[in-house]
Amino acid sequence: MIVVMKVHAEQDEIDAVVQRIHKLGFNTHLSTGAERTIIGVVGADRRLEPMNFEVMAGVEKAVRVLHPFKIASRDFHPEDTVFEVHGVPIGGHHLTIMAGPCSVESREQLLETAAAVKEAGAQILRGGAYKPRTSPYSFQGLGLRGLEILAEARERYDMPVVTEVMSPDLVPLVAEYADMLQIGARSMQNYALLQAVGKVNKPVLLKRGMMSTMQEWLMAAEYILSNGNDRVALCERGIRTFEPYTRNTLDINAIPAMRNLTHLPIIGDPSHGTGKWELVGPIARAIIAAGANGLIIEVHPHPDEALSDGAQSLKPKRFAELMRNVHAIHDLLDHENIHDRETD
8 contact partners, CB below 8 Å, separation of at least 6: 35, 36
User: Which is closer to ligand PEP, CB of 88 or CB of 185?
Assistant: 185
DSSP states of 170-218: GHHHHHHH-SEEEEPGGGTT-HHHHHHHHTSSS-EEEEPPTT--HHHHH
Q: From the CB of 319, what's the least distance to Mn ion, in Å?
A: 15
Count interface residues toward ligand PEP (CB under 6 A). 9
Pick one of 58, 100, 128, 316: the residue that binds ligand PEP (CB under 6 A): 128
132 binding partner (options ligand PEP, Mn ion, none; Cβ < 5 to 8 Å by kind):
ligand PEP
Nearest Cα residue to 225 out of 206, 210, 212, 209: 206
CA distances from 336 to 60, 121, 137, 278, 341 (A): 25, 24, 49, 32, 12
Name the minimum Å distance from CB 132 to ligand PEP. 6
Residues 152-211 that bind ligand PEP (CB under 6 A): 184-186, 207
Q: Kindly tell me which residue out of 2, 21, 102, 142 binds Mn ion, with binding defined by CB under 5 A.
A: 102
Q: Is 255 in the site for ligand PEP (CB under 6 A)?
A: no
Q: Which does 184 bind (CB under 5 to 8 A by kind): Mn ion, ligand PEP, none?
A: ligand PEP
122 is an interface residue for ligand PEP by CB under 6 A: no
In angstroms, rounded to a whole number, what is the distance separating the alpha carbons of residues 300 and 319? 10
Main-chain phi, psi angles of 194, to 5 degrees: -60, -40
Q: Shortest approach of ligand PEP to residue 188 CB, angstroms?
A: 8
Q: Which is nearer to ligand PEP, 91 or 275 (CB)?
A: 275
Q: Which candidate, 71, 55, 75, places its Cα nearest to that of 63?
A: 75
Whether 255 and 223 have beta carbons less than 8 Å apart is answered as no
Q: Which is nearer to ligand PEP, 74 or 207 (CB)?
A: 207
Residues near ligand PEP, by CB under 6 A: 102, 128, 132, 184-186, 207, 237, 272
Residues near Mn ion, by CB under 5 A: 102, 309
